[in-house]
């Protein structure tokens, strides 16, 4: 039997899951603009000197080494639907019987003025290193000034990413920076802003309240019910006209499907590709979409969350769907199995919510550590991450406080 040609655009969680599930029954090619996969859930720890950058990146070829999957580094420019071809920016043209679009997401500014110009995003290793460099560079300025100058750091967005970032910055300041130069560390203010009425709106109110309390104990100022109207150089304006100083503004308020959707001429709704319950792109039965870029709906009719478990389950599901087609079997509808949500606030502080079960504190923190270590690719990365975490925990220090950005 002739194996179908499957091209997968994107080497993230979902793309790799699909490739690994398909390579025995199809000729698979993975395309990604980087030659490595980024473990996005731990990027904030790179930003706050908790982890080395290479611990959250793993070579895609290494992840596919024991398979027959081909890899091409590049970005898609266009799709020729009639001839079933995708053109890459390397000028290479790949033919396909099935195309899987797994291009992930990019920062969503929701039309708020100044977000793209004056905030730092959290979607790549480069952005994480930029945040770390900015924090450390401004800390060095405070050490040099030796006066009453204050440094305001603001995290916009009270979801898991924002909460984890704010907590990690607070611990960076209370631990190693305070040990380095106590006076300078005392002059750093951290604020987290959430437009909704509480932090972590997808969690139970009880866990949201616990999170707010834990952040405030770490010295973080929490503003809820405070939509941002605009961001300018060194200041943020809220919708109620309140103006906040902010030398470093980190945007964690949301993401949208990759901008590549438009140039690939795929149907889009609500900043995500429109898909059928089968995960096929609407009107294109041989094209599939998964993960952050796919507008798949849950049982309640709302879009599924942009998280790794969704992408992984969809990648494996699409692989099964393509196998069903080769066997002339009917397609099925995707059903997401929600295994729960979690977020860490800091040392021995985390929350876990699995259906009706709610866990907070040290036990939740240990569960969070174990699961992230489990999903991290590469033995070296697992060992390195564990070593960094152990060192940080035992010494209250963070050894990755280097200023290493593009300068």
Q: Give a yes or no: residue 44 inside a domain.
A: no
- The C-alpha atoms of residue 216 and residue 165 are separated, in whole angstroms, by 14
Contact status, residue 131 vs residue 121, Cβ threshold 8 Å: no
* Domain of 183, in residue numbers: 115-253+340-395
Percent share of the chain, pLDDT over 90: 94
pLDDT of residue 112: 96
Query: 374 Cβ partners below 8 Å, 6+ apart?
Result: none
For residue 38, being part of any structural domain is answered with: no
Q: How confident is the model at residue 385 (pLDDT cuts 50, 70, 90)?
A: very high
Domain membership of residue 220 (yes or no) is yes
Strands 70-73, 27-32: pairing kind = parallel
Looking at residue 181, which CATH number applies to its domain? Answer: 3.50.50.100
Nearest by Cα to 121 from 57, 54, 47: 47
Is residue 331, in this structure, part of any structural domain at all?
no
Distance CA 201, CA 160 (A): 10
What is the number of structural domains in the chain? 2
**Residue 355's pLDDT band (boundaries 50, 70, 90)?**
confident
Quick one: 96 and 165 in the same domain?
no
Torsion sign (Cα): 221, 226, 227, 232:
negative
Same domain, 241 and 297: no
Give the pLDDT score at 254. 87
Known catalytic residues are 164
pLDDT band per the 50, 70, 90 thresholds, residue 296? very high
162 and 284 fall within a common domain:
no
Question: Angle 359-362-364 (CA atoms, 0-180°, nearest 5)?
Answer: 35
* Number of residues assigned to the chain: 407
> Do 272 and 187 belong together in one domain?
no
Dihedral of CA atoms 192, 198, 199, 204 in degrees, nearest 10, equals 170
**170 φ, ψ (degrees, to nearest 5):** -60, -40
Domain boundary among 267, 293, 326: 326
- Write the pLDDT tens digit of every residue in 233-272: 999 999 999 999 999 999 999 899 998 888 898 999 988 9
Kindly state the tokens that stand for 19. 């490739």
What is the Cα–Cα distance from 78 to 93, expressed in whole angstroms?
10
Tokens for 316?
A: 């494996």
Same domain, 319 and 353: no
Q: Based on the fold, state whether residues 244 and 275 are members of the same structural domain.
A: no
Task: Return the closest-CA partner of residue 79 out of 55, 66, 104, 96.
Answer: 96
Q: What is the pLDDT of residue 405?
A: 63
Is residue 287 helix, strand or coil?
strand
Q: 52 in a domain, yes or no?
A: no
SS3 262: helix
**Residue 51 above 70 pLDDT?**
yes
Q: Do 244 and 122 belong together in one domain?
A: yes
What's the rounded mean pLDDT across residues 31-49? 96
**Closest Cα to residue 15, out of 305, 289, 298?**
289
CA torsion angle 74 79 83 87 (round to 10): -20
Q: Tell me the per-residue pLDDT of 84-125, one tens digit each, with 9 for 90 and over.
A: 999 999 999 999 999 999 999 999 999 999 999 999 999 999
pLDDT at 1 over 80: no
**25 shares its domain with 152:** no
Same domain? For 24 and 101 the reply is yes
Instruction: Decide if 402 is inside a domain.
Output: no
Q: Is residue 67 part of a domain?
A: no
Average pLDDT of span 283-312: 95
Q: Give the per-residue pLDDT at 407.
A: 45
Same domain, 219 and 238: yes
Q: Are 13 and 315 in contact (CB under 8 A)?
A: yes
Same domain, residue pair 143 and 182? yes
Q: What angle do CA 155, 157, 159 make, to 5 degrees?
A: 120
The pLDDT tens digits of the residues spanning 183-242 come to: 999 999 999 999 999 999 999 999 999 999 999 999 999 999 999 999 999 999 999 999
Cross-strand bridge partners of residue 94: 86
Q: Which of 407, 405, 406, 328 is nearest to 129 (CA)?
A: 405
CATH number of the domain residue 280 falls in: 3.50.50.60
- Residues contacting 401, CB < 8 A, separation 6+: 49, 132, 136, 176
- DSSP lists the bridge partners of residue 401 as none
Average pLDDT, integer, range 320-342? 96
pLDDT the model gives residue 15: 98
Residues 6+ apart with CB under 8 A from 165: 44, 47, 48, 122, 155, 250, 252
Does the pLDDT of residue 167 top 60, yes or no? yes
Q: Which residues pair with 244 in a beta bridge?
A: 236
At 285, is the pLDDT very low, low, confident or very high (cuts 50, 70, 90)? very high
Whole-number pLDDT of residue 404: 78
Alpha helices in 158-300 (DSSP H): 160-172, 178-180, 182-186, 205-217, 260-263
322 and 293 within one domain:
yes
Which of 280, 304, 326 is the last residue in one of the domains? Answer: 326
pLDDT averaged over every residue in the chain:
95
Which residue in the block uniquely carries the two structure tokens 């730092």? 120
Confirm whether 316 is domain-assigned. yes
Residue 183, number of CB atoms within 10 A of its CB: 12
């Amino acid at each position: 039997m002739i194996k179908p040609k499957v091209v997968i655009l994107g080497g993230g969680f979902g793309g790799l899951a699909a490739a690994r599930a398909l390579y025995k029954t199809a000729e698979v090619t993975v395309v990604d603009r980087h030659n490595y996969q980024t473990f996005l859930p731990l990027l904030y720890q790179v930003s706050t000197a908790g982890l080395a950058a290479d611990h959250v990146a793993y070579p895609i070829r290494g992840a596919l080494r024991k398979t027959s999957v081909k890899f091409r580094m590049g970005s898609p420019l266009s799709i020729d639907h009639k001839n079933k071809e995708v053109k890459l920016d390397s000028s290479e043209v790949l033919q396909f019987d099935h195309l899987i679009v797994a291009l992930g997401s990019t920062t969503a500014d929701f039309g708020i003025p100044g977000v793209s110009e004056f905030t730092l995003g959290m979607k790549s290793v480069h952005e994480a290193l930029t945040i770390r460099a900015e924090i450390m560079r401004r800390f060095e300025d405070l050490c040099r000034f030796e006066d009453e100058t204050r440094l305001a750091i603001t995290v916009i967005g009270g979801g898991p990413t924002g909460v984890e970032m704010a907590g990690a910055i607070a611990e960076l300041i209370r631990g190693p920076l305070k040990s380095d130069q106590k006076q300078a560390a005392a002059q750093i203010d951290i604020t987290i802003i959430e437009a909704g009425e509480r932090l972590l709106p997808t969690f139970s109110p009880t866990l949201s309240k616990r999170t707010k309390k834990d952040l405030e104990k770490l010295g973080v100022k929490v503003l809820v019910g405070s939509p941002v109207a605009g961001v300018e150089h060194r200041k943020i304006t809220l919708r109620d006209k309140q103006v906040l100083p902010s030398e470093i503004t980190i945007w964690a308020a949301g993401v949208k499907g990759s901008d590549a959707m438009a140039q690939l001429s795929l149907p889009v709704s609500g900043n995500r590709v429109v898909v059928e319950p089968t995960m096929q792109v609407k009107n294109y039965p041989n094209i599939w979409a998964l993960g952050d870029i796919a507008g798949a709906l849950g049982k309640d009719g709302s879009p599924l969350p942009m998280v790794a478990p969704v992408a992984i389950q969809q990648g494996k599901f699409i692989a099964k769907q393509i196998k069903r087609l080769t066997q002339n079997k009917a397609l099925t509808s995707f059903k997401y199995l929600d295994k729960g949500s979690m977020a860490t606030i800091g040392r021995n502080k985390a929350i876990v919510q699995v259906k009706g079960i709610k866990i907070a504190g040290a036990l939740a923190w240990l569960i969070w550590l174990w699961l992230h270590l489990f999903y991290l690719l590469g033995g070296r990365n697992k060992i390195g991450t564990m070593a960094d975490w152990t060192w940080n925990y035992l010494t209250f220090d963070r050894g990755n406080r280097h200023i290493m950005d593009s300068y």
